[in-house]
Amino acid sequence: MPEGDTVFRTARHLDAALSGRVLVETDFRVPAHATLDLSGHRVLETVARGKHLLTRIDARARDAGANLDPPSGRLTLHTHLKMEGSWHLYRAASRWQRPAHQARVVLRTDEWTAVGFSLGIVEVVETASEPDVVGHLGPDLLAADWDAAEAVRRLRSDPGRPIGAALLDQRNLAGVGNMYMCELCFLLGVNPWLPVRDVPDLARLVDRAQLVLAANKDRPAQTTTGDTRRGRQLWVYRRDDQACRRCGSQVRVAPLNERATYWCPSCQPGPVGGAGSR
């Protein structure tokens, strides 16, 4: 599943290409919105909230029917990439890089075609109702209103929960996916199965999460080691059975809440990662 910094970059690219432009054609390839037509309406902006994308549209009716005339005058296209989703931008007549049957949303302007492939969530809501779809999220690591103290408070609200699972819970802090969870735990020397109450410096872990995502939000090649060369970007994630870059011990993998979790048993001592660990 894409991390918060990937979604942040996606929002920035969609915003740059579509904002201020009138939609000349729309195609919603999901049953709930199959008949929805937003052509003739102007895109206002696209923003990220954690791993969610919000594309806001000036939807004041232009002889298109009452369903396009919300009280606020605005609609929001809410999408989520989940595991396989992605947004692509194409110039007119350019060949799509993924099969057409995977497209869930197509937004065309006079200059760009934005195609959302294999999106996990596609829904259109009144912009005033955005809290209904993203209001459950914790502080956004990459937002201007990032609140580290609130993120720490939310993590501490369930002290017996494994810290790895708590970091993945978007209700605590929004933007950390499985890769960053594993890497952050390694960077702080914390075992992913350690209960939240036993994490030595939770505030430092939260601060590091914000710093790492912020450092990677402007580059497509994510790194936590500081080395962007292929195969050297990460400490432990997807490096099971390889030597730890720090101590030489064998990196291990085990499921945590059904997510493959990678850690170094020497650098991150603590609870054994389940019967399936290796």
The pLDDT of residue 64 is 45
Residues in the chain: 278
Residues 232, 155 contacting (CB under 8 angstroms)? no
Residues 56, 11 contacting (CB under 8 angstroms)? no
Mean pLDDT of 68-94: 89
Assess whether 95 carries a catalytic annotation: no
Residue 153 DSSP SS3: helix
Distance CA 180, CA 206 (A): 12
Helix H or strand E segment including 113 = strand 112-117
Topology classification of domain 4-134: N-terminal domain of MutM-like DNA repair proteins (3.20.190)
Assess whether 239 carries a catalytic annotation: no
Residue 4 DSSP SS3: helix
Map out the domains of the chain as residue ranges.
4-134, 148-263
Topology classification of domain 148-263: Helicase, Ruva Protein; domain 3 (1.10.8)
Per DSSP, helices labelled H in the chain are 4-18, 131-134, 148-156, 163-168, 178-187, 202-216
Instruction: Say which residue, 167 or 93, is predicted with more confidence.
Output: 167
Residue 87: partners with Cβ closer than 8 Å, 6 or more residues away: 10, 13, 14, 53, 79, 81, 114, 115, 116, 117
Residues 276, 261 contacting (CB under 8 angstroms)? no
The pLDDT of residue 276 is 44
Helix H or strand E segment including 261 = strand 259-263
Best CA proximity match to 2, nearest among 121, 235, 177? 177
Start-to-end CA distance of the chain, whole Å, equals 23
pLDDT tens per residue across span 153-181? 999 999 999 999 999 999 999 999 999 99
Selecting among 49, 51, 217, 239, the annotated active-site residue is 51
Instruction: Say which residue, 60 or 149, is predicted with more confidence.
Output: 149
Overall pTM > 0.85: yes
